[in-house]
Amino acid sequence: MPKGYISLILHAHLPYVRHPEHDSFLEERWLFEAISETYIPLIDTYQSLVDDNIDFRITMSLTPTLVSMLVDPLLQERYRNYLKTLIDLCEKEIKRTEYQPEFNRLAHMYNEKYKHDSYIFNDKYNGNIVQAFKYFQDIGKLEIITCTATHGYLPLMTVNPEAVKAQIAVGVQTYEKHFGRRPRGIWLAECAYVPEVEKYLLDEGLQYFITETHGVTYAEPRPVYGTFAPIVSPNGLVAFGRDLESSRQVWSADEGYPGDCDYREFYRDIGYDLDFDYIKPYINKDGIRLHTGIKYYRITGKNQDKQPYNPDWAREKAASHAGNFMFNREQQINYLADRMDKPPIIVCPYDAELFGHWWYEGPLWINYLFRKVAYDQDAFKSITPSEYLDKHPFMQVCSICESSWGHKGYNEVWLNGTNDWIYKHLHKAAERMIELANDYPSAGGILEESLNQAGRELLLAQSSDWAFIMKTGTMVEYANKRTVEHVGRFTKLYYDIKENNIDIEWLREIQSKDNIFPDINYRVYKSEL
C-alpha cells in the first residue's frame, strides 16, 4: 500500500471564441494554438503511457465552452486550415534555414509536429478530440470534471441565485451529453467559492470541488491535516485544497521549472522576427504580427541575447525536473504519513495550457513524471479525487472559507475599477432572464427559441474571462465588445419577447453566431417555489 497520493489536476479552459461572420478571426487562434500546443500533446502523452502499460491517474476539467468549440464543425474546419498553413510555412522554413543547421533541425521538428497533429486530429479522431479524452476516462486513467457553463464567476452572481443554478446546471448537462455520465467533481471558475453555491452544486449531484489553499486552511474549525486531506462542509460537499509547495515548483516565475534556461522561449517567434513580406501570408490578414508557433530560441537568460533551442538539452532537463518533483513529493509524503491516520493526498492543480503552450516541454515532463512515479519510488501513487473519496470516505467537517485563486485570494481581480461597470448590466440581465422564465413557463415554437437564445446570451456575457481580460489589460477592446454585444442581444430579445414582436430574421442570425448549448432549456432560470 502506498503511504500517500498525488493528484495532478489540469484545468483546460478557453472562452467561447467563434466568429462565423468573419472568414478568419484573430481570437479563434487561441483555440487552434491550444489544440496543437496543449491538447494533442497531452493526448499523445496519455496514449504513450497506456501503450507502455504505465499505471497513472490524472484529472482534467474540460469546460463547457471548450468542449463546445472542440466539437463545432466550423472551428474544426478552420483548425484544419490553420494546420495546412503552418505545414506550408514549415516547409518554407526548411528551405530558408538550409545553411543554418541549428535552425534547420528545428524547422524539420516543427514540420513533423504539425503533420503529426494533422494525423491525430483528422485521421485518428475525425476532427473530434473530445473523444480522445473520453476514451482515457472510459479506460480509467483520466477523470474529467466539469465547470460552470461559461466559466461564470459565481461569488459575484449570488444576488440572483437562479443565475448560479443555471451556470452549474448547464455545465453538468453539457458534460453528460459529451461524456455519457454525470460528473462527480467540478472546477469552480477561478477556484472561486462562497457557501451560497453549495445548494446548487449538490442539487446537480456534484460531490467535490477544487479550492485555493486558504479555502481549506482558513476553514472553521481549522482542518487538522491542512490541505493534505479533503474536508467536507456541513451540507456534505467536499473540498480539495491546492498544495502550495508543489504549485510553486511548477507555477513560480522565479523558482518554477518552466523558467529554466534550456527550455524553449515562448516570446521569440518567427512571426515577429522575420521579414514582414516573407511572413505576411502566415500572420493576420490585416498585417498584424502574431505568434506562429515556430520558435527557434531557448530561454537562455533574462536578457534579450537568446541562444538556439536544443531539444536534447530540453528533454534532459524535463526528465531531471520530473525526478526533482517526484523526490519532493516523496519527502512530503514520508513526513506526513507518520503524522496522519489516513494517507495524505498532495493536490496539484494547474492551468492545462501551461503544459505545452506556455511551457513547451510540459507534456514531456508529465510523461517522465508518471514513468518515474511508476518505477523509481514506492512511497506514493497518483490518484483522482473521486478514487481518493472512494478509498477514504470519512473526513473532517468544516465550514469552507470563501476564496479564489486570483491575486489576494478573493474577488478583486474580477471586481475592480477596470471592470466594475459590467455588473449592473449582468445583474439586470439575470433578473430579467428569471422574470422571463417565470412569466413564460410553457412557451413553444419561436417564443421558446427566443427564450433559449436569451439564456445563451446571458451565459456568454457572464464569462469570467471578460472581466479578467479587462483587469490584465490584454485584448481589452475585445472583452469590452463581447460583454456589450451579449448584453445588447439579450436586452433586445427581452423587449421583443415582452412586446410579442420577435424579429425572426435577426434571431436566426444570432442563433448562428452564438450557437453554444444547443440543448439549453430556458426554464433552468425559473424560480423555485
Which pLDDT score, from 0 to 100, does residue 302 have? 83
Phi first, then psi: give them for residue 502, nearest 5 degrees. Answer: -75, 130
Q: End-to-end CA distance of the chain, in Å?
A: 50
> How many angstroms separate the CA atoms of 84 and 91, rounded?
11
Which pLDDT score, from 0 to 100, does residue 511 have? 98
> How many angstroms separate the CA atoms of 19 and 478, rounded?
12
CB 377 within 8 A of CB 175: no
CA dihedral 414, 144, 59, 38 (to 10 degrees): -70
Cell of 156: 459575484
Which pLDDT score, from 0 to 100, does residue 312 have? 98
Q: What angle (nearest 5°) sits at the alpha carbon of residue 165, between those of residues 164 and 168?
A: 85
Which pLDDT score, from 0 to 100, does residue 527 have? 95
Which pLDDT score, from 0 to 100, does residue 9 have? 98
CB 83 within 8 A of CB 118: yes
Going by C-alpha positions, the residue among 389, 410, 343, 369 that lies closest to residue 246 is: 369
Residue that the C-alpha cell 490518484 belongs to? 383
Burial group, residue 157, by CB count within 10 angstroms (0-12, 13-18, 19+): buried
Count of CB atoms situated within 10 Å of the CB of 448: 15
Cell of 401: 472559507
Cα 518 to Cα 174, 408, 493, distances in angstroms: 10, 37, 17
CB 334 within 8 A of CB 3: yes
259: number of CA atoms within 13 Å, CB side?
12
Which pLDDT score, from 0 to 100, does residue 430 have? 98
For residue 353, what is the DSSP state?
G
Cell of 500: 410579442
For residue 74, what is the DSSP state?
H
Helix (H) or strand (E) holding 51: helix 40-51
For residue 99, the one-letter residue type is: Y
Domains within the chain, CATH numbers bracketed: 4-71+143-260+318-407 (3.20.110.10), 415-525 (1.20.1430.10)
Which pLDDT score, from 0 to 100, does residue 304 have? 81
Blockwise average pLDDT, block size 10, the chain, 529 residues: 97 97 90 98 98 98 98 98 97 98 98 98 98 98 98 98 98 98 98 98 98 98 98 98 94 86 96 95 86 97 91 98 98 97 97 97 98 97 98 98 96 97 98 98 97 98 98 95 98 98 98 98 93
> How many angstroms separate the CA atoms of 48 and 73, rounded?
28
Cis preceding linkage at 221, omega within 30: yes
User: Can you state the angle between helices 445-461 and 476-498, rounded to 10 degrees?
Assistant: 150
SS3 434: helix
**Beta strand pairing call for 380-382 and 142-147:** unpaired
CB 366 within 8 A of CB 321: no
Which pLDDT score, from 0 to 100, does residue 176 have? 98
Which pLDDT score, from 0 to 100, does residue 393 have? 97
Which pLDDT score, from 0 to 100, does residue 261 have? 96
Residue that the C-alpha cell 472559507 belongs to? 401
Which pLDDT score, from 0 to 100, does residue 285 have? 79
Going by C-alpha positions, the residue among 29, 147, 61, 150 that lies closest to residue 517 is: 150
What sign does the CA torsion over 74, 80, 86, 91 have? negative
CB 54 within 8 A of CB 367: no
Cis preceding linkage at 234, omega within 30: no
> How many angstroms separate the CA atoms of 149 and 164, rounded?
10
Cell of 314: 530540453
